[in-house]
Amino acid sequence: MAINQITVFLENKAGALLNVTKLLSENKVDLRAINIAETTDYGLLRLITADNAAAEKVLKEENLIFTETPVLAVAIDDKPGALSNVLEILAKENIDVHYMYSIFGHQNGYAYMIMQLGETDKATALLKANSVVIAEPRDLQIG
Amino acid sequence: MERYYQKEVECASREEMVALQNERLVAQVKHVWENVPYYRKKMEEKGLTPADIKGIEDLHKLPFLTKDDLRDAYPYGLLGMPLKDCVRIQSTSGTTGKRVVAFYTQHDVDLWEDCCARAIVAAGGTNEDVCQVAYGYGLFTGGPGLNGGSHKVGCLTLPMSSGNTDRQLQFMTDLGATIICCTPSYAEYLAESIHERGLRDQIKLKAGIFGAEAWSEEMRHDIEEKLGIKAYDIYGLTETSGPGVAFECNEQTGMHINEDHFIAEIIDPDTLEVLPEGSQGELVFTSITKEGFPLLRYRTKDITILSREKCSCGRTLVKMKKPMGRSDDMLIVKGVNVFPSQIEAVLLENGYPANYQIVVDRVNHSDTIEVLVEMTPEIFSDSLGKITEMEKNLVSALKAMLGIYAKVRLVDPKTIARSEGKAVRVIDKRKI
Ligand SMILES: [Zn+2]
């Protein structure tokens, strides 16, 4: 099942990122993963949170612009070549990986990669058919 | 059926209007000659006396007044009446530092409010309407002018002043405002807020009267669509009275100038020659009824075109096209003329909001221009590629319109400063 990632628009200003992380922690919103894609003027802050509703309430109050995007949390075995193996499965079916980043720490003995793939449903079916484990929100204490 | 506030003037024949203007101009020149030594000196320098001005055909002989004269004569040099007969001042910040202060007698206030009443009636206003005035009140002419006009029409007037959007929306919905008067940028802001809060079904607005800033046709359509209203333009400047010097009718093809109070001319800003009807040039106004601050041949710096083509509304008052922009707003960047209104039009055409700011600077002896645009949920996405693609398209469109490269920078929402309800559109760091 896909997980909803929150993407926030952040102008490149000193303290902008700190402001968001601080607000979230003050409101007891735990972060499972974080990633930034940036240009010289602004960045896209991508967040996997334990509580999207609470996070969005905080962001809205700050007048920040954000959007939700479905992503997959793909389990990667802790052995050499595991990530390449997953990417190969996707490449064979011409499924693009738009971007990916990792989840903090290990859960249930796995490292997880957050992947944004153009076709989420098709990718899910494909990976499962190839015995790749995809995390459910509850596996990551998201809910 | 078209309604008018003062039909006998608004629909007068050309002959009647010329006769009225002749009579008023002759009397006004005499009034100024006797009461304003600053202008009398200018007339004497040209070898003129009031006897030389027999009617509007002699208007071109009179000397011009400019913003520099207003600065030189500050504060009382252009006063036309003893202070004991003046009841009000209004003021606007000049771009060069010193403020413009204009004086009004009670007669001046009455006539100004009549002008605003004509605008409200032309926008469909009657004594059944609830008119929300969200222009700034105080020294700025927007609030007081429309407030007075609204009273004259008999609307229930909500004197909101600018800002405090929560309160604006509360009164708008609770009291069922049908007409909103504010700056176009604030109208956009209100429209956004109404959209965000899902209040569209709870508002009863039918018309908006928007002025005090340059705005484009694209912005008009955008506001009309978002608020479900008809958006009317209104024009004025503190030096001549305030809003209501000219106003738009249903045809929306230009603003009727209240010619019984203001004679309009178009001149070539370089040669100062009066240009024939239909030419584009600088707008010049002569106040023929103002007592307290009677400016003759005041150069507005606005670039526009006058038209006497018959208007479907029945008004015979000459129409002025929406100005290209005040030449105060006009920027010269890398030797090219840039009007903020051109940039605004490009933004709206490319799906961006009209909340923008232009920053001009000089780096290594070369001008730079940067356009700051507020990010909106509509243009935001999770894809950096999509956003940068849109930015690239915008840069190309700006280049096509302006002829020079302008950098685009996306900024956080609601970060572009607004003062007196007017967005600060231009920051020219070359002057600081
Ligand atoms: Zn008309």
pLDDT digits (tens, 9 = 90+) for A32-82: 999 999 888 999 999 999 999 999 999 999 989 999 999 999 999 888 899
Task: Say yes or no for a CB contact (<8 Å) between B412 and A116.
Answer: no
Task: Say yes or no for a CB contact (<8 Å) between B410 and A41.
Answer: yes
Has the ipTM of the complex gone over 0.90? no
B233 pLDDT tier (thresholds 50, 70, 90): very high
Taking 3-state DSSP, the helix, strand and coil percentages for chain B, each rounded to the nearest 5, stand at: 35, 25, 40
Q: Kindly tell me if the per-residue pLDDT of B422 is higher than 70.
A: no
3-state secondary structure A62-125: CCCCEEEEEEEEEEECCCCCHHHHHHHHHHHCCCCEEEEEECCCCECCEEEEEEEECCHHHHHH
Whether A89 and A99 share a structural domain: yes
Give CATH 3.30.300.30 domain extents, chain B. Answer: 331-431
Question: What pLDDT shows up at residue B95?
Answer: 45
DSSP secondary structure string, B247-303? EE-TT-SSEEE-TTTEEEEEE-TTT-PBPPTT-EEEEEEEESS-SSS--SSEEEEEE
Q: What is the nearest CA distance from A78 to chain B, expressed in angstroms? A: 29
Whether A119 and A100 share a structural domain: yes
Cα B277 to averaged position of ligand 1 atoms, centre (Å): 18
- CB < 8 Å to A10, chain B: 412
Judged by DSSP in three states, B130 sits in strand
B96 pLDDT tier (thresholds 50, 70, 90): very low
Residue B310: CB atoms within 10 A of its CB come to 9
pLDDT digits (tens, 9 = 90+) for B150-184: 999 999 999 999 889 999 999 999 999 999 999 99
**Which residue out of B412, B414, B415, B416 would a mutagenesis test of the A interface target, given it has the greatest number of A Cβ atoms within 10 Å?**
B412
Average pLDDT of the segment spanning B38-49: 98
Task: Say yes or no for a CB contact (<8 Å) between A11 and B380.
Answer: no
Question: What pLDDT shows up at residue A4?
Answer: 95
Q: Which CATH number fits domain B1-324: 1.10.10.410, 1.10.150.80, 3.40.50.12780, 3.40.1350.10?
A: 3.40.50.12780
- CB < 8 Å to B416, chain A: none
Average pLDDT of the segment spanning B259-275: 94
pLDDT digits (tens, 9 = 90+) for B7-28: 999 999 999 999 999 999 999 9
B419 pLDDT tier (thresholds 50, 70, 90): low
Task: Say yes or no for a CB contact (<8 Å) between B377 and A67.
Answer: yes
pLDDT digits (tens, 9 = 90+) for B102-134: 999 999 999 999 999 999 999 999 999 999 999
What whole-number distance in Å separates Cα of residue B361 and Cα of residue B365? 10
**Which residue out of A45, A65, A66 would a mutagenesis test of the B interface target, given it has the greatest number of B Cβ atoms within 10 Å?**
A65
What whole-number distance in Å separates Cα of residue B260 and Cα of residue B13? 12
Cα B331 to averaged position of ligand 1 atoms, centre (Å): 32
Residue A99 in contact with residue A35, Cβ under 8 Å?
yes
Whether A112 and A83 share a structural domain: yes
- CB < 8 Å to A46, chain B: 382
Q: Which of A133-137, B331-335, B347-351 has the lowest mean pLDDT?
A: B331-335
Range of the domain at A44: 3-69
Question: What pLDDT shows up at residue B327?
Answer: 61
Picking from B382, B387, B411, the nearest residue to A69 by CB comes out as B382
Q: What is the nearest CA distance from A111 to chain B, expressed in angstroms? A: 24
Whether A80 and A132 share a structural domain: yes
